[in-house]
């Protein structure tokens, strides 16, 4: 798919303007009718290039994510508001889609990648312009839509605190966000990391709305738990596949969903070696964890055995004392 066809497809999608997240949504409210202008598709011939894999890559001619009427970008010393044109366009269009379907406070976005990609502490990935941390839409203590000053870690009840303020997960708007992400006409989402209990809230909201089965299946697939999902309790971690024009320098790795465009580029020798080292490191970690579990089990059994022996000794002493007392009584 060329960049021209991507742009034309995005234009057609925006003109059709379906309410992706809320079946039966009303016409766009005042203040959001011209929002399409804030979410252009990737410009034809965009020079951005994602190179390598997300945890060992770089970024060329990056596009900066800018704030809009529906998008708030958290700036930090890491200067990590850069990504491919596809990723930046995806986030901007998704914010517009949610604003049209369910107006409210802005979507809060954290780190993408550095201007040239590469290592971005403390992240393991975010190195090639295809990863983004996107905050949850939240409700305040009164159940009204609100925008928190930072990402808010949520407990299993779906709520969390920042200082004295209480925030809760806004299921309808977050479902609208995921719907927009997975149905984007240009970028192809590979997965969204999110804690399993929060994922269940999103899927339950889709069921409550009676969302199409195909949409529900796609959201369920991209949010399926992976390594690292459990730690994402304050934001979504979104990753997109390599743009077709960025291959073969850009390298995708499994899983490949049905909406994957074209064929993945084969991993380089350096990537294969890195993955081999990672597999070996994980195997060593599993072996160490197994040894620790075995040691704890031996200690548990040893303590249980010691308790049994102490109880037996106590019973023996009591029987001896009882026998001695009975003998004394007989003698008396």
* Nearby residues of 149 by Cβ (< 8 Å), 6 or more positions away: 162
Which of 266, 295, 315 is the endpoint of a domain?
266
Question: Is residue 278 domain-shared with residue 206, that is, in the same domain?
Answer: no
Question: Is residue 165 domain-shared with residue 194, that is, in the same domain?
Answer: yes
Token pair recorded at residue 37: 């202008």
Position 327 confidence tier, pLDDT thresholds 50, 70, 90:
confident
- How far apart, in whole angstroms, are the C-alpha atoms of residue 243 and residue 54? 13
Domain count, the chain: 2
Main-chain phi, psi angles of 247, to 5 degrees: -85, 155
- Mean pLDDT value of segment 305-309: 95
Position 303 confidence tier, pLDDT thresholds 50, 70, 90:
very high
Question: Is residue 300 domain-shared with residue 198, that is, in the same domain?
Answer: no
pLDDT of residue 98 exceeding 50: yes
pLDDT of residue 45 exceeding 70: no
pLDDT of residue 2 exceeding 70: no
pTM of the predicted model, to two decimals? 0.76
Domain hosting residue 169, numbered range = 3-266
Residue 180, Cβ neighbours under 10 Å: how many? 22
DSSP conformation letters of 77-142: TT---EE-HHHHHHHHHHHHHHHHHS--SPEEE---B-TTBS--TT-SS--SS-EEEEEPPEE-TT
Question: Is residue 219 domain-shared with residue 123, that is, in the same domain?
Answer: yes
Question: Is residue 20 domain-shared with residue 159, that is, in the same domain?
Answer: yes
CATH number of the domain where residue 143 is located: 3.30.1380.10
Question: Is residue 32 domain-shared with residue 97, that is, in the same domain?
Answer: yes
Closest CA to 259 of 231, 218, 210: 218
pLDDT of residue 42 exceeding 70: no
Question: Is residue 168 domain-shared with residue 296, that is, in the same domain?
Answer: no
Which of 248, 266, 284 is the endpoint of a domain?
266
pLDDT digits (tens, 9 = 90+) for 108-156: 999 999 999 999 988 889 999 999 999 999 999 999 999 998 899 999 9
pLDDT of residue 261 exceeding 70: yes
Which of 266, 286, 301 is the endpoint of a domain?
266
pLDDT of residue 160 exceeding 90: yes
Question: Is residue 232 domain-shared with residue 288, that is, in the same domain?
Answer: no
Top mean pLDDT of 26-30, 211-215, 316-320 is at 211-215
Q: What is the mean pLDDT of the chain?
A: 87
Question: Is residue 249 domain-shared with residue 275, that is, in the same domain?
Answer: no
Q: Determine the pLDDT at residue 75.
A: 84
- Mean pLDDT value of segment 211-224: 97
């Amino acid at each position: 798919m060329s960049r021209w066809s991507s742009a034309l497809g995005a234009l057609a999608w925006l003109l059709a303007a379906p309410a992706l997240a809320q079946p039966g949504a009303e016409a766009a409210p005042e203040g959001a009718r011209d929002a399409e202008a804030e979410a252009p598709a990737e410009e034809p011939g965009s020079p951005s290039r994602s190179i390598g894999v997300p945890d060992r890559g770089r970024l060329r001619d990056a596009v900066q994510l800018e704030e809009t009427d529906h998008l708030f970008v958290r700036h930090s010393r890491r200067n990590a508001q850069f990504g491919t044109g596809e990723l930046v366009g995806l986030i901007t269009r998704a914010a517009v889609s949610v604003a049209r379907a369910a107006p409210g406070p802005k979507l809060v976005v954290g780190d993408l990648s550095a201007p040239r990609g590469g290592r971005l502490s403390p992240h393991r990935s975010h190195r090639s312009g295809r990863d983004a941390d996107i905050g949850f839409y939240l409700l305040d203590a009164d159940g009204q839509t609100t925008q928190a000053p930072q990402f808010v870690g949520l407990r299993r009840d779906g709520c969390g605190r920042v200082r004295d303020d209480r925030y809760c997960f806004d299921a309808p708007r977050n479902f609208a966000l995921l719907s927009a992400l997975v149905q984007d006409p240009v970028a192809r989402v590979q997965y969204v990391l999110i804690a399993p209990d929060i994922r269940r809230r999103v899927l339950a909201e889709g069921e409550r709305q009676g969302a199409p089965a195909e949409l529900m299946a796609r959201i369920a697939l991209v949010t399926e738990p992976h390594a690292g999902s459990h730690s994402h309790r304050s934001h979504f971690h979104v990753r997109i596949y390599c743009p077709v024009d960025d291959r073969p320098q850009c390298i995708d790795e499994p899983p490949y969903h049905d909406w994957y465009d074209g064929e993945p580029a084969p991993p380089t020798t350096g990537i294969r070696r890195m993955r081999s080292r990672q597999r070996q490191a994980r195997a060593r970690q599993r072996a160490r964890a197994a040894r620790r579990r075995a040691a704890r089990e031996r200690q548990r059994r040893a303590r249980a055995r010691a308790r049994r022996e102490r109880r037996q000794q106590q019973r023996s002493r009591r029987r001896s004392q009882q026998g001695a007392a009975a003998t004394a009584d007989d003698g008396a």
